[in-house]
Structure 1
Amino acid sequence: MAALPAPKFDYRPLGDDYGNFRLLELQPAIDRRDLLRCTIQHASIDTSAYCALSYVWGDQKVDSSEMETTYKRPKRRLFESKKHYQEGAVVYRKEIGSSLARALRYMRQPYASVTIWVDAFCIDQESKEERASQVKLMTKIYSSAQVVHAWLGPEYNEDPAVHSRACLAGRSNRSARNWLTVPLVGIEIQKNTLAFDYIDLIWALAKRIKGSEKLASENDWLQACFTIAQTPAEDLQQRKNAVHQVWASFSAQLLQAVISHAQAGQIYTTLDSLSQVNYFSRMWILQETGRAKRVVFHYGEREASHQQLLLALGVTRAYNGSFAKDQLRMLGSKFDSRFLSCVIARLTCSKALGLHEVLKLAFFDRSMHSATDPRDLVYALLGLATNPQAISVSYELSLDEVYIATARFLFGQGFTDSLITFRPYARSNEFLSPEFPSWAYDWSRRGLPSFARFKAAKDTRPRLSFVRHTGTVHNIAMSLKGTWIGRVVAVNEHKFSALASAAGLSLEVIQSGRLQGGARPLTTDEKRILGDLLARIHPTVQLLPADVARLMSQSALPLGNFWCWWVWWTLSIWSLAKGNTNEVAELLLREAPPRVSSNKDVMRLVSARDVAGLMDLQSWSNLLFTSSTGAAPGSQLTAFGIDIVESLFRSAWGTRPFALDTGFLACAAEVVQVGDEVVIFHGVKAPLVVRRAGNGAHRIVGPAHVCGAMQGQLMSVASSVETYALT
């Protein structure tokens, strides 16, 4: 006789009492392959002892597993309906994601049960109302847990060989999940497991350094971890900070100890791999690790405290962020710095910051985290703040409404930097409506705050308000006062992306603006074609065969392709500059760090009085390459040479030069067109390109760099001020 099917899993209401939640009691098993069994019960946070799980959901539709679940029903209270509160328990078979299943199998103990909170299981994900109410409790849930277990992997589909063998082995036996018997032999899995040996090693090296006893203090450890993770450029900006100097010394000693270790290459290769696990891409980990009393990171059977793992990754970031040595470049690293957000989250929580400060920090963080529901890209940040109630949590709200409310909150706090976000190659967003306001920040398509260092509006304050504006879905416009500085009358036909593509640079290089990693060995024919092209671009550009050979031989950067692009780009700017070499130099070095822009030799070249001087290959070669006597044509770029080339490329990234009818030279996102206007809005750090949208309103196209205007030079007392309605 066939067995009756298990009843459908049915969540019972948690009730209205604050602090009510569900807990999972994971039953013991000696064999990891045994079916997962648990009991789920209602409890109160204030009276419960439990741990919490932080993990990657994964694709639950493709990879799923089963868990046998007993739902303990609470005893019926007086006068309450029998429907949901009858005594007893019902056993269910519930589908769960394989990522969660694997994590629970490793969390499970052989002889004792484990009480654990798991978001995907303990919250009724089908109930928008319950999701909203439980999100409001997240801070308390994670801060009250005795320990938060962070599951880094392995994921079910992490290794293709394991995945394919698992699919063949799995057949229809969904309860035993035969794929668990497959050895975890993938290359990445081996690297990530081995990384934990080196995490222990780095911690031991840190303990030998004088002053390391301060690492016992959470705040001191956070300072040390954050300091060592900084790249040299970031470090320069903070050297005047006394606390930073203490940990900078510790950082330098630890980095040197690791670099000098006999297994340095293996250390960085394995930790480089570990930084790329999907776990660090999740938005919710900021709250889950930031609020936790204690975090233990797990990868299979290996584990490490958050102090040990994050410090080791910090050392790896510092290593990969430095180009002082050739061997560092040879790693070809794809190191992912998103782990650093865990450190920032703990620092944020320790400082008890308000919501506007938390959102500002998140805006300036260049890391791109993900969430299954894009509303959670905001909601996940609320738990880091002391006043999360300033933004209401409701999954009944549309994504437009959530992001608009967040923008209005920040504008109310005087924060306008979101208006100057630069994102020239952002992917399209299928979740937002076409009428999403141009002034509201899209948290799912994070951009760069690269214009935030300017002071185009000088010391003016934002003079804004929100007004009703008919004709749009949201019927709202932002009224903002600003100074008009010109209308676009000439746009160069050459866009950054078009020129870079014509020069043979890859799509990845174009979209990222980073030349590193875009090189490959050139064939003989490609070298000949590029050499001929360089020689033909402009008659005044003289290229010797040795110079061309030197360009083509580079492995650090695709320098031959870069030089093709560079000649085209400088010509496109020169054609609009009308001989103003100061404006040409300003645009060419727009994103250059002080180390580059203050160098006399660099300034002499970019301020040349003619095109031939700008493209003097011999002078550039002397500046970029090693200058030892008798150096071969294939001499390597110096670290400073890499800085120069990267900053020149980055300064042009995603832009298009144009001229205003008022005589100014500028550049903005590639979508700028003739007829657009440029305005310096009060309280906004960079000029904005705006486009008429009808009904007396404008839409923001993006920030612009206007030569001679970026430090407030145009904000005189006599400047006329107008009010703009931005939709």
Structure 2
Amino acid sequence: MASLLGEADFVYQPLRNDRPEFRLLELQPAVNRVDPLRCTIRHAVVDASAYCALSYVWGDQEANKSEMEITYKRPKRRLFESKKHYREGSVVCRKEIGSNLAMALRHVRQRHACVVIWVDALCINQADNDERSWQVTLMTKIYSNATVVHAWLGPQHNERTAVITTNSAAFEYIDLIWALAEQIKGSQKLANENDWLQACFTIAQTPAEDLQQRSNRVHQVWATFSAQLLAAVTSHAEARQIYIALDTLSQADYFSRMWILQETGRARGVTFHYGEHQASHRRLLLSLGLTRAFWGSLTKPQLRALSSDFDSRFLSCVMARMTCSKALRLHEVLKFAYLERSTHSATNPRDLVYALLGLASNQRDIKVNYNLTVDEVYISAARFLLEGGFTELLITFRPYKRSKGLLSEDFPSWAYDWSTRGLPSFAKFNAAKDTKPQLSFISYPGSVYNIAMNLKGTRIGRVAAVGDSFSALASSAGLSQEATRSGRLQQGGNTRALSANEKRTLSTRLARAHPSLRAQRAEIETLLLSQSALPLGNFWCWWVEWTSSLWRLAGAHTKSNNNLSRHIAELLSRETPPRISSNKAVKTLTSATDLASLINLQSWSHFLFPRPVQEHDQPTPSAARPLTAPGIDLLESLFRSAWGTRPCTLDTDFLASAPERVQEGDEIVLLHGVNAPLVLRKADEEAYRIVGPAHVCGAMQGQLMSVTASVETYTLV
């Protein structure tokens, strides 16, 4: 007779590690959703079992917990196992589970039949690191063998009624979009997985207005299909409601979870659930991809203005399926994950690496071990990539640390912190030209982890003088901390209109910043009237201070002034995309030969605000005119170019832009095989720590990598 035990008596029986053994839940049927949850846990072999699997967000494990009755079926006694340590029969106990898991199980279970399902929170002993490590390596097989993966999107505990209503409506629109897709293409075409993937990528990754123009880059069939489907949906009577609903659905917490990459990528098929609604992965992801193109469509500005919160992390599910279908090796998977720089999260920071292993064909190149520290996990992944020649890890630009306390102070400067994402722009340069990375890892007793990296390189110079930091000037200009930390002007609620007093304060501050602005008070007032798209007044204060500071530093500490304005323009527009930098008006603005021309308000106003269509039209005040789209892009890119940096000059007469932490005496070095120069700081007599990447004017395209350049070996810790 089974005994009824309390929750504290729930004990996992050990799994056999000589075969792919795991636990399965047999979820008992229930007529009503609110009926108690009951299940049986049993041991099974992955290859010999029929089951489905659950993919969900753990969420708050303490809020609104549910009780579940679990019958634990004892596995058969092993050969030579003592009867003293083995009890016959089953044990029944009650266990509390999180609200999100309880909700998902209530909707997955059937009315009259058991559902055999694998659930990570219950089928793995989460308190046993050795078992977790072993079971995680089995997850590729677990999700690949499942008949279907049920992905639970919500609703979650305490989700707002308006969100629930909107997300529920989204599933109705998903069916509508799929019906339109079938009419255009034919269901037999989209039924093929590769065709479906191609359709998703084409429509999600190509701006709507360029689908036809860029058809040479993608298969013509799918470019045409995508353009026709987008046109059909945008012209639908409920287009606005479709966009709003799918926009809200894209922000579901589920899509931010790291483990969904493996869970949806390896699955034979995925059924997405939201309450009583469900849709296949093909229908849902195609619809979200369409909405992403919808949002980026410049032909529908009224729809683009509806929301700025559309979250494209759902695309990782599509990319994961593509990755798995290509059977990529681990080096390629990790490299792709780094380049993609997704912002997915995981409860355990080790899983930001471990969750990627299941996408690779040779995942055992890195061992899963939850007994390792986070430092050790990230170090092993970085070393694996660096030894394979992938040196872009070294030039990730992250001026503001976000993972305080997660990594130790002794975390190697050459290792990559997977918990944060940085700016990838330094990878576009070719400062080391055609050199190859000559690196090696050595035992280094002076470091905590007893490891250092040797890499050959060429010294550019030592930092002789530094200018004002980006964050200090942004703060003094009144820009929000969020905008400063993110490098995005439109972050942090700076879009409100300025009061009369604020306008006067800003114009006074600008007039003090530079003599040429004192006579332009009227133009300044006019420019500051518009606050509908960007914090223009605060930006302008920052811009004048930033350019003035850069000009002063360069003029005082560089001997040769022949290329001064060109080098200043190079630093100011470092992040300006080609579509903007090629504009004639932009070239004129950013390549001014003196500071007064660079901050000329009349020139900037002409570019930022649209002019009257006809000469006889009455001019409209700037306050009533929106900023032009190129104007918004330019201001954002100029802000991004300076983000997290401070200008500096070198003892070799170079002008550079380096991380804010740069100090006089730091060295800037071109390491072989690395696309951008690095700022290095002495850690001891023999080794250096990496401060970050730098932009050195006149060195970013390999100009200094001549055959006569001296080469040294740098030890990095």
Normalised-by-shorter TM-score class = over 0.9
1:68 partnered with 2:69: yes
Name which of 618, 625, 632 aligns with 2:620: 632
Gaps of 5+ in 1: 160-185
Which amino acid in 2 is paired with 1:695?
E
Aligned to 1:150: 151
Aligned to 1:48: 49
Aligned to 2:414: 439
Deviation for aligned residue 1:329:
4.6
1:392 partnered with 2:367: yes
Which deviates the most, 610-619 or 318-327?
318-327
Which deviates the most, 114-123 or 88-97?
88-97
Deviation for aligned residue 1:209:
2.7
1:269 partnered with 2:244: yes
Aligned to 1:173: none
Aligned to 2:648: 658
Which amino acid in 1 is paired with 2:450?
N
Aligned to 2:451: 476
Distance 1:720 1:219, change over 3 A: same
Aligned partners of 2:84 and 2:263: how far apart in 1?
A: 35
Distance 1:206 1:35, change over 3 A: same
Distance 1:726 1:241, change over 3 A: farther
Aligned to 2:475: 501
Aligned partners of 1:291 and 1:83: how far apart in 2?
A: 42
Deviation for aligned residue 1:547:
5.6
Name which of 532, 538, 561 aligns with 1:555: 532
CA RMSD across the alignment: 2.1
Could you report, residue by residue, the CA deviation over 1:521-547 in whole angstroms, capped at 9, with x for unpaired residues? 222222222233233321213536356
1:643 partnered with 2:633: yes
Deviation for aligned residue 1:77:
4.0
Deviation for aligned residue 1:150:
0.5
Residues 374 and 444 of structure 1 are in contact (CA less than 8 Å); yes or no, is this contact kept in structure 2?
Answer: yes
Distance 1:640 1:381, change over 3 A: same
Which amino acid in 2 is paired with 1:108?
R
1:528 partnered with 2:504: yes
Residues 270 and 281 of structure 2 are in contact (CA less than 8 Å); yes or no, is this contact kept in structure 1?
Answer: yes
Aligned to 1:537: 513
Distance 1:65 1:702, change over 3 A: same
Deviation for aligned residue 1:211:
7.2
Deviation for aligned residue 1:239:
3.9
Could you report, residue by residue, the CA deviation over 1:584-609 in whole angstroms, capped at 9, with x for unpaired residues? 11111111111011222211111111
Deviation for aligned residue 1:663:
1.1
Distance 1:324 1:682, change over 3 A: farther
Which amino acid in 2 is paired with 1:692?
K
Could you report, residue by residue, the CA deviation over 1:330-356 in whole angstroms, capped at 9, with x for unpaired residues? 324212221111111111111110100
1:147-546 map, 5 Å: 147-159=148-160, 186-210=161-185, 214-230=189-205, 232=207, 239=214, 242-323=217-298, 325-492=300-467, 494-517=468-491, 518-541=494-517, 542-543=519-520, 545=522
SS at 2:694 equivalent: strand
Residues 152 and 299 of structure 1 are in contact (CA less than 8 Å); yes or no, is this contact kept in structure 2?
Answer: yes
Distance 1:683 1:625, change over 3 A: same
SS at 1:701 equivalent: strand
Distance 1:233 1:693, change over 3 A: farther
Aligned partners of 1:340 and 1:398: how far apart in 2?
A: 30
Aligned partners of 2:550 and 2:115: how far apart in 1?
A: 66
Which deviates the most, 33-42 or 80-89?
80-89
Aligned partners of 1:125 and 1:238: how far apart in 2?
A: 52
TM-score (ref. length: structure 1): 0.92
Could you report, residue by residue, the CA deviation over 1:189-232 in whole angstroms, capped at 9, with x for unpaired residues? 22211211222222223223357753222122112212222264
Could you report, residue by residue, the CA deviation over 1:402-439 in whole angstroms, capped at 9, with x for unpaired residues? 11111111111111100001111231331322111000
Q: Sequence identity, in percent?
A: 67
Aligned to 1:590: 574
Aligned to 2:684: 694
Could you report, residue by residue, the CA deviation over 1:31-75 in whole angstroms, capped at 9, with x for unpaired residues? 111110000101111111110000011121344221000011123
Aligned partners of 2:124 and 2:374: how far apart in 1?
A: 21
Residues 461 and 650 of structure 2 are in contact (CA less than 8 Å); yes or no, is this contact kept in structure 1?
Answer: yes
1:77-96 map, 5 Å: 77-82=78-83, 85-96=86-97
Could you report, residue by residue, the CA deviation over 1:359-408 in whole angstroms, capped at 9, with x for unpaired residues? 00100112211111111111110000011111111112121111111111
Which deviates the most, 710-719 or 68-77?
68-77
Which amino acid in 2 is paired with 1:19?
P
Aligned partners of 1:477 and 1:396: how far apart in 2?
A: 23
Which amino acid in 2 is paired with 1:608?
A
Which amino acid in 2 is paired with 1:519?
T
Aligned partners of 1:155 and 1:206: how far apart in 2?
A: 31
1:622 partnered with 2:606: yes
Distance 1:617 1:464, change over 3 A: same
Aligned to 1:171: none
Deviation for aligned residue 1:103:
0.6
Aligned partners of 1:17 and 1:636: how far apart in 2?
A: 68
Aligned to 2:546: 569
Residues 576 and 665 of structure 1 are in contact (CA less than 8 Å); yes or no, is this contact kept in structure 2?
Answer: no
SS at 1:198 equivalent: helix
Which deviates the most, 344-353 or 521-530?
521-530
Could you report, residue by residue, the CA deviation over 1:427-471 in whole angstroms, capped at 9, with x for unpaired residues? 133132211100000111222322111111001000010111122
SS at 2:425 equivalent: coil
Which amino acid in 2 is paired with 1:509?
A
Deviation for aligned residue 1:505:
1.7
Aligned to 2:584: 600
Residues 211 and 227 of structure 2 are in contact (CA less than 8 Å); yes or no, is this contact kept in structure 1?
Answer: no
SS at 2:456 equivalent: strand
Aligned partners of 1:235 and 1:393: how far apart in 2?
A: 44
Deviation for aligned residue 1:479:
0.5
TM-score (ref. length: structure 2): 0.93
Which amino acid in 1 is paired with 2:230?
L
Which amino acid in 1 is paired with 2:504?
R
Aligned partners of 1:238 and 1:588: how far apart in 2?
A: 32
Deviation for aligned residue 1:19:
1.6
Gaps of 5+ in 2: 556-560
Give the total of aligned pairs: 698
Distance 1:668 1:329, change over 3 A: farther
Distance 1:7 1:502, change over 3 A: closer
SS at 1:56 equivalent: coil
1:31 partnered with 2:26: no
Residues 227 and 235 of structure 1 are in contact (CA less than 8 Å); yes or no, is this contact kept in structure 2?
Answer: no
Aligned to 1:119: 120
Aligned partners of 2:659 and 2:602: how far apart in 1?
A: 32
SS at 2:279 equivalent: strand
Aligned to 1:165: none
SS at 1:408 equivalent: helix
Aligned partners of 1:716 and 1:239: how far apart in 2?
A: 39
Distance 1:495 1:642, change over 3 A: same
Which amino acid in 2 is paired with 1:700?
I
Aligned partners of 1:238 and 1:115: how far apart in 2?
A: 50
Could you report, residue by residue, the CA deviation over 1:544-575 in whole angstroms, capped at 9, with x for unpaired residues? 63563344223121222211211111112212
Aligned partners of 2:521 and 2:544: how far apart in 1?
A: 16
Distance 1:613 1:507, change over 3 A: same
Aligned partners of 2:700 and 2:540: how far apart in 1?
A: 28
Aligned partners of 2:417 and 2:342: how far apart in 1?
A: 14
